[in-house]
Amino acid sequence: MLAAQAAPRQHWRELWLITIGHGLTHWYPATFYLLLPLIGNELGLSYSEIGLIMTCQYIASAVANIPGGVLVDTVGRKGLLMAVSLFWVGFPYLLIGFTHSYAMLLVCVALVGFGNSLWHPTAIPTLGSRYPDRKGLVLSLHGMGGNVGDAIAPVVIGAALAVFSWRHVVVLNVAPGLVVALLMFAYLGTLHLGARKSPAAQSQSLGQYAAALRELLRNRALVLLSIGSAFRTMTQSALLTFLPVYLAHEMRYSPAVVGACLFALQAAGFAAAPVAGHMSDRMGRKQILIGAMATSAVVLVGMAFAGTSPVFVALIAVLGFFLYATRPVIQAWLLETTPKSMGGSSIGVLFGAQALGGALGPYLAGVVADRHGLPATFYFLAVTIVIANLFVFWTPHRRDEALA
């Protein structure tokens, strides 16, 4: 009886540590989005060149996500892989603080993309195998960690920029990631998370993996959800790249105020994630996703019409609530329609597709902004989220339909 009670408590401790680590993997990109206007001004970059910075990060992530999934499913040392991923996400930002070259800046953000590609194929299947009946809720809690990092970083870094230069801030900002990476290595580094309870979660041979991968890539739900999520991420990455630029250039807000606006966007997402996750466990994944994405499209059009009025700022929080509510629901749905033994690869494919969408979004939005002005980017984002919703609509509900 005592052993049965201890195991769930151990699972919850692991959940919170993984969630904190997830928050740090989002902390650094959230910091960098706030720095982009300052870096762009210092280096004299166009909107397209600013967008290309994030495109390079997402391309690197897209290239590395599927190999990352292979590594997770064949090696199985999930605790160690998460610690390595967290370190690899934070360290390149230290290098950014010492570069004055646009080309070197692109190399550094590409390294961040490589590191980030290990986190989600490792953490998400681990949590899914721990809580098979509460995937939506647990993955939403994991997602909330990301939202906390996304929300707090702009506020903290915006305040720090009032005192320090952006280069000093980047160097000081490395410390939290290093500390948490060491904690994860010390506590989880020797564990095969998810392998102790489920044989399907254990490592497998390359031959077994190759056969399972061929079957996986024929899964309709995997393909459709990945493409739809790619367009959703295209919307998100372009928004995070150019919303700070719009607030700084068009609305003339200070870094601290820009940080507060980004906090509103992410805080709303933080509130939405557990609500959407729990509702999707009860009501179904598809209904929640379609409603949230449709509302996001309407809000983006409203932001384009609002211009520089106070209504624009109010709509930022509304957008964050619906846009970020979709992430854990997509992940839970994908895990339910793919084999447990291929969880890392399934998430790797999903995040690889998302990274491709994320790579295209900032660059294409930058081209739109250069040609038609920054406000036009919000119409572009509305179109991409509508396309994402169409692929969600066509996705089959159940695993047997996905394999048909």
- At the second CATH level, the architecture of 8-194+209-395 is Up-down Bundle (1.20)
The Cα–Cα gap between 367 and 364 comes to 5
What local confidence, expressed as pLDDT, does residue 8 receive? 55
What local confidence, expressed as pLDDT, does residue 399 receive? 56
pLDDT 10s digits, 137-164? 888 888 888 878 887 888 888 888 888 8
Query: Side chain identity at 183, as an amino acid letter?
Result: L
What local confidence, expressed as pLDDT, does residue 290 receive? 94
**Nearest C-alpha neighbor of 185 from the set 79, 75, 76:** 79
pLDDT 10s digits, 346-386? 888 898 898 889 889 998 999 999 999 999 999 999 999 99
CA distances from 157 to 34, 99, 168, 279 (A): 8, 19, 11, 34
Whole-model pTM? 0.72
The Cα–Cα gap between 209 and 195 comes to 16
Query: Side chain identity at 234, as an amino acid letter?
Result: M
- Mean pLDDT, range 129-144, rounded to an integer: 80
The token duo for 262 is 């980004």
The Cα–Cα gap between 399 and 401 comes to 5
Residues of the chain above pLDDT 90, percent: 25
